């Protein structure tokens, strides 16, 4: 099926976004294109990915969690190649993926900060029956087995098959937009 999208022709020297420069006016030889300003304009749900390593729990804030397939249920998320959690993810191949509730900005910030501070608050997390760290008060929690870690530039795209999913029906997610969190 083909979908047609109507678009008014651009003004000469401008593309279809009125405040943007046309593609032919962009320096194509730029060695490193910084996409951060573009993606700061997109709102994303805030998640925390956790795993259990030999030295204890690991985890990090992720705003890149996506549903890839419903049958089988597969999700993806990105992890930096320099992440302190990457080696554990590669070894254990099992993760819990927590959708943060709108009240959990402190949790999002803690898991985006120094790794030594991520699991210091014993009242906000514990181990679930599956052996993975479980954050209290989240909107949803997925348990997943990592099927692939795909190198992608300075990061890895993680593909994981979901084996369990729970959600709190009346909660709302924490959203990350323009460098800050919003309910």
pLDDT digits (tens, 9 = 90+) for 149-168: 999 999 999 999 999 999 99
Tell me whether residue 179 is in a domain.
no
Tell me whether residue 75 is in a domain.
yes
The fraction of the chain above a pLDDT of 90, given in percent, is 72
Tell me whether residue 22 is in a domain.
no
Q: How many domains does the chain have?
A: 1
Q: Are 167 and 140 in contact (CB under 8 A)?
A: yes
Tell me whether residue 93 is in a domain.
yes
Tell me whether residue 27 is in a domain.
no
Q: How far apart are CA 28 and CA 166, in angstroms?
A: 46
pLDDT tens figures, 93-142:
999 999 999 999 999 999 999 999 999 977 899 999 999 999 999 999 99
Q: How far apart are CA 131 and CA 140, in angstroms?
A: 17
* pLDDT reported for residue 121: 78
Rg, C-alpha atoms of the chain: 19
Q: Whole domain around residue 49: which residue ranges? A: 36-171
* 108 φ/ψ angles, rounded to the nearest 5 degrees: -60, -45
Tell me whether residue 5 is in a domain.
no
């Amino acid at each position: 099926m083909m979908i047609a999208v109507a678009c008014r022709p651009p003004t000469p020297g401008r593309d279809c976004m009125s405040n943007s420069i046309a593609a032919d006016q962009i320096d194509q030889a730029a060695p490193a294109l910084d996409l951060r300003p573009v993606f700061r304009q997109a709102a994303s749900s805030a998640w925390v990915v956790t795993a259990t390593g030999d030295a204890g729990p690991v985890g990090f804030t992720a705003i890149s969690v996506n549903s890839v397939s419903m049958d089988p249920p597969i999700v993806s998320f990105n992890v930096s190649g320099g992440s302190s959690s990457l080696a554990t993810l590669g070894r254990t191949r099992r993760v819990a993926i927590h959708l943060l509730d709108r009240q959990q900005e402190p949790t999002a910030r803690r898991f985006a900060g120094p790794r030594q501070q991520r699991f210091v608050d014993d009242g906000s997390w514990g181990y679930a029956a599956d052996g993975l760290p479980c954050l209290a008060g989240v909107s949803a929690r997925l348990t997943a087995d990592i099927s692939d870690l795909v190198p992608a530039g300075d990061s890895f795209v993680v593909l994981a098959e979901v084996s369990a999913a729970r959600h709190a029906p009346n909660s709302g997610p924490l959203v990350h937009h323009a460098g800050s969190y919003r309910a």
